[in-house]
Structure 1
Amino acid sequence: MERSLKIVSTTKWDTIVVAAAVLLVVSILFGGASRQHEVRLALVELTALPLLVIAGGRLIQNGVWRSHQFVLAILSIVVLIPLLQLAPVPPMIWTNLPGREPLVLALQLAGLQPGWATLSLTPDRTLGAALALLPPVAMFLAVLSSPQKLAVRLVGLYLIASVTSILLGAAQLASGGEQLYPWATTSAGSVNGFFANRNHLATFVLAMLPFALVLSAASLRRSRSNPLPIWLGAIFVGLVVVALGAIRSRAGIVLFPPVILASLVAAWIATGRKRIAPAFLMMIGVTGGALAAIAYLALPPILARFDSTSAAEGRFDRWPIVAQAAESYLPTGAGLGSFDPVYRSVEPLATLDNTFFNQAHNDYLEIWLEAGWLGAIALALFLVWFARRAWAAWRGKVSGARDLQRAATVAIGTVLVHSVGDYPLRTVAITTAFAMCCALLEMASLAESDAGDQRRRMRV
């Protein structure tokens, strides 16, 4: 009987591994854009459904959810926001909400009486935003309900996806045409990999950098006689540096120094905080050599990206307009996905130019506009959770789980900082990877619980 139960349990874990791996691959291939590709995004969302059912059932069945009530409460708020915005409410409620005056006036001019309506000004876009939550929620629950070996496998797959995307970007640059770009909204001549936006490729490879360094360095703790993991880590770092030089993403270039520094510190801790081994120094040397090569070969075009005269972007000038518009729709927000039509309705004529300002290029402002007070509460709770878990991860003892958690803090921090000036979390590929990192970090609570149980047993 015990043997059969063990086989059933192993089979269920294997099912989650396969379903999570499939979602990972599909999200990378078809989830690299944030708009105008509903069919591909729907494929990613459909792929997430089996994993969501399996992982959710496993989380409830084994009772692990009790150890993660705080983060699951935050997740529930995030899921609840679009559901509340899509719920129909009587006219006596929605007509008295801020920002609805033009709608009421339009109905009056047409001789129509207001009827029941949703809180969202754009229910179709809000429904799309709600469905886009399926992949990250499924990935988060899958990693949270599974053993560490699943996380290691997924991290390995993401590292492979990063390298593949970099190589695809190199082929795109070399081809000179548009045939190798998976998204029609991408202009030829840039390095985008599987993404529609080169900035998002830069964010993705930077987020994977700490995992490559930490896993390579951790091999020194287990065995110093096998240099292959260190070589692989050094090669990955070199590829990322060269890729950032070719991508020419300003955000990627600015974020690289703090990311590589934090990743190297996490990697040093993963070695056991012992003296720096020659192999580890080699990894640092490869990083320095790649940076020197990029500085010599591609510094002028990179610096040109920071020349304000060559970048006709007024995103910083438009942020006050977005903030003012957000105040007009408090407390409920205008509805997830409503930024584009809402901004069009308040955009001053003086800011009109040949650029297409389809996102706020500041996810925090966009959340404030679209989700209102409830979105701000969810964001604040998330930042509190992240700070607590990051503190625990970096203070914890050296172990395989802690290695992954420290790398996850760097990856999450990279995406959060980039979200100040862009919208990486509007792409399903990055939100799914981000969800995996959050689940890895949340596992710190289990590590703390296990350590506490062990100390109590030792006292007894």
Structure 2
Amino acid sequence: MTIVLATIVLAVTFAWQDGFAAFSRAPLAGRIALAGIAVWPLLQLVPLPFPLWQALPGQELRRLTLDLAGSADSWQPLTLEPTGTALCALMAIGFVAFTGWLMQLSSDDFHRLFLVALGLVLLGILIGLLQVVSDGQFPQLQVDNMGATLLGFFANKNHMALVLACSILLFGLVVSRQFGARGQPAAMQIRRRLMGTGYTVFALVAIVVTNSRAGLGLGALAAVIVLLDLARGVALRWRIAAVAVVAALVLAVMSSSAFEVVAGRVDDVSDDLRWRFLEWSWPLAERYGWLGSGFGSFRTLFITQEQLAWVKPTVVNAAHNDYLQLLIEGGVPAMVLLTLLVLSLLPGIAALHRLSRRAQERHALLAGLFIILLYALHSLVDYPLRRPAAWIFFALALAAVYRGAAAGRGDAAGGPQIEAA
């Protein structure tokens, strides 16, 4: 309820103050994609005359159910789960409004927001450490006690691990440059490398304590990207020494009991039920893939076609592959919007060659692209963009890419190019 109220206030205030002019910074494909993200769930809620909705694929069970109540000839929306779709629509509007607000900020305010985001991550780690030492007893922000697991504010350890991986990129590629922006160039670089390496190791240890297999892989990828960036311009002997130190730290972490737990879960990847979820969910994609069953309807639909042999003590709440679930719930229109969102990143990639290597906009743009890559990879095995607490970093990354593209083409809306270390 708090998020819904905040979304309404944010969207109305943003529209009143800016009139959505901030979206002009985004490429045309991005503007269409963002508009579609907000509008398509709303369109799924529009009531349709009974000859029309009954003619759509996958409506037989709904027609038979309504027929028992004598309401088969009533107007019905496209979605099979109106309440869930309505909530998803509000969340989608909140995501779009938040992204627009990020693009509206001045360059200085936008880069200060990176510090706020990093501060929230550190606060989440502090809360998570308390959860670990208290075996999940305090503070228990989640409904279920997950034991000695670093969750922070998140209900899902994979999402906490993803955000930690994103924070590695944010700190290593952007924030460390802001902290090291004063003094002699050589001292600035040394200070930045020490801070970047230190935070990367710290965040990797925190990811291990989340007990997330996907997070371990995403964190390792983020660490490699940051360490390669920090190594630029360093003499070969110092690179070898740094690799030796990092290897020693990795061995120390791998010998810990926390790593043994997550490593044991890595060995069980082949037996993970999420691979079966793909097979079991595919018939839903074949049935509803054209226009979608309605956002938020997967859980209800899966139960209706779940076989007795598939039933486990837990409930299948998602397909654990957001591309497949997007096709099921949003249909072809949602996949078109996803394609447009990907195409909207191309101007940002092109801007990397036009922006100065010392421009803050370029650093933020590069971090944004890599953060989006982490979300894209994680969406293959999970559903990070279906949780507001997790998509905040995605919105931050998307705004950074669009702002960087605007700065690269010399658009005044992109803001001045601020030089950094």
Query: Shared fold by TM > 0.5?
Result: yes
1:200-219 matches, cutoff 5 A: 200-215=159-174, 216-217=176-177
1:320 aligned residue (279, 282, 289):
279
Letter in 1 for 2:172: L
Give per-residue Cα distances to partners, 1:286-307, cap 9 Å, x unaligned. 6545323211224432321123
The answer to whether the aligner puts 1:426 opposite 2:386 as a matched pair is yes
Map Cα deviations across residues 395-420 of structure 1 (whole Å, 9 max, x no partner). 64311100011011111111110010
Shift of 1:373: 0.9
CA distance 1:150–1:104, change in 2 (3 Å): same
Out of 133, 139, 149, the residue aligned to residue 190 of structure 1 is 149
Unaligned runs of 5+ in 1: 1-41, 454-460
**Amino acid paired to 1:73:** I
Aligned equivalent of 2:196: 233
Match of 1:39 in 2: none
1:8 equivalent in structure 2: none
Hey, what's the Cα distance between the residues in 2 that align with 1:283 and 1:325?
A: 50
Is residue 354–residue 408 contact of structure 2 (8 Å, CA) maintained in 1? no
Tell me how far apart the structure 2 counterparts of residues 417 and 134 of structure 1 sit (CA, whole Å): 24
SS of corresponding position for 1:421: coil
How far residue 68 of structure 1 moved from its aligned partner, in angstroms, is 3.8
User: Would you say the 8 A contact 1:59–1:65 is kept in 2?
Assistant: no
Whole-angstrom CA distance in 2 between matches of 1:58 and 1:232 = 39
Cα displacement (A) at 1:327: 1.4
1:362 paired to 2:327: no
Contact 2:26 2:406 in 1 (8 A): yes
Q: Deviations over 1:308-346 (max 9, x none)?
A: 29x974110120221211211132111000010100011
Give the residue type in structure 2 aligned to 1:323.
W
Contact 1:210-1:407 at 8 Å conserved across structures: yes
Asked if the contact 2:37–2:93 (Cα under 8 Å) also holds between the matched residues in 1, the reply is: no
Residue of structure 2 aligned with 1:307, choices 267, 274, 291 = 267
Once the two structures are superposed, the pairs formed by residues 132-281 of structure 1 within 5 Å of their partners are 132-215=91-174, 216-217=176-177, 223=183, 224=185, 225=187, 230-267=193-230, 274-275=233-234
Structure 1 counterpart of 2:309, from 350, 358, 362: 350
Match of 2:363 among 403, 406, 418: 403
CA 1:238 to 1:106, structure 2 compared with 1: closer, same or farther past 3 Å? same
Once the two structures are superposed, the pairs formed by residues 15-26 of structure 1 within 5 Å of their partners are none
Q: Secondary structure at the match of 2:288?
A: coil
Change (3 A) 1:276 1:408: farther
Q: Greater CA deviation, 252-261 or 81-90?
A: 252-261
Residue of structure 1 equivalent to 2:290: 331
The answer to which of 45-54 and 97-106 deviates more is 45-54
3-state SS of paired residue (2:44): helix
Asked if residue 413 in structure 1 is aligned to residue 373 in structure 2, the reply is yes
| Residues 26, 402 of structure 2: 8 Å contact kept | no
Q: Which moved more, 1:151-160 or 1:347-356?
A: 347-356
Residue 100 in structure 1 maps to residue 59 in structure 2 = yes
| 3-state SS in 2 of match to 1:336 | coil
Q: 2: distance between equivalents of 1:363 and 1:230?
A: 36
122-131 or 108-117: which moved more?
108-117
Aligned match of 1:23: none
Task: Give the direction of change, closer, same or farther, for the CA distance of 1:333–1:186 in structure 2 (3 Å limit).
Answer: farther
Structure 1 SS opposite 2:57 = coil
Shift of 1:49: 3.6
How far residue 355 of structure 1 moved from its aligned partner, in angstroms, is 2.8
Q: Give the Cα–Cα distance (whole angstroms) in 2 for the partners of residues 108 and 326 of structure 1.
A: 25
Count residues with an aligned counterpart: 407
Correspondence for 2:77 = 118
Q: C-alpha displacement at 1:435, in angstroms?
A: 0.8
Check the 8 A contact 2:372/2:398 in 1, yes or no: yes
Quickly say closer, same or farther: Cα 1:381–1:274, change in 2 above 3 A. Answer: same
Seen in structure 2, the aligned counterparts of structure 1 residues 283 and 85 have a Cα distance that, compared at 3 Å, is: farther
User: Is the counterpart of residue 51 in structure 1 residue 14 in structure 2?
Assistant: no
Instruction: Give the equivalent residue in structure 2 for 1:89.
Output: 48
Q: In structure 2, the residue corresponding to 1:443 is in which secondary structure?
A: helix
Unaligned runs of 5+ in 2: 414-421
| SS in structure 2 at match of 1:328 | helix
Measured in 1, the distance between the counterparts of 2:126 and 2:353 equals 33
Kept in 1, the 8 Å contact 2:85–2:294? The answer is yes
The one-letter code of the counterpart of 1:114 is D
**Cα RMSD (Å) of the superposition?**
2.9
Q: Distance in 1 between matches of 2:347 and 2:410?
A: 17
SS of match in other structure, 2:366: helix
Deviates more, 1:294-303 or 1:333-342: 294-303
* 1:67 CA displacement: 5.6
In 2, Cα distance between the equivalents of 1:145 and 1:57? 13
- Residue identity opposite 1:302 in structure 2: V
Distance 1:119 1:151, change over 3 A: same
Kept in 1, the 8 Å contact 2:288–2:328? The answer is yes
**1:195 Cα deviation after fit:** 0.6
Partner AA of 2:39 in structure 1: L
Once the two structures are overlaid, the 10-residue window that deviates more, 54-63 or 398-407, is 54-63
For residue 150 of structure 1, report the CA deviation from its aligned partner.
Answer: 1.8
CA distance in 2, matches of 1:266, 1:44: 37
Cα distance, 1:261 vs structure 2: 1.7
**Percent identical residues:** 26
Q: Counterparts of 2:62 and 2:322 in 1: how far apart (Å)? A: 26
Note the alpha carbon deviations across 1:363-386, whole angstroms, 9 max, x for none.
Answer: 111111100111111111112223
Query: How many Å apart are 1:86 and its aligned residue?
Result: 0.4
Q: After TM superposition, give the deviation of residue 46 of structure 1 in Å.
A: 2.1
Q: SS of the counterpart of 1:133?
A: helix
CA 1:241–1:61 in structure 2 vs 1: closer, same or farther (change >3 Å)?
closer
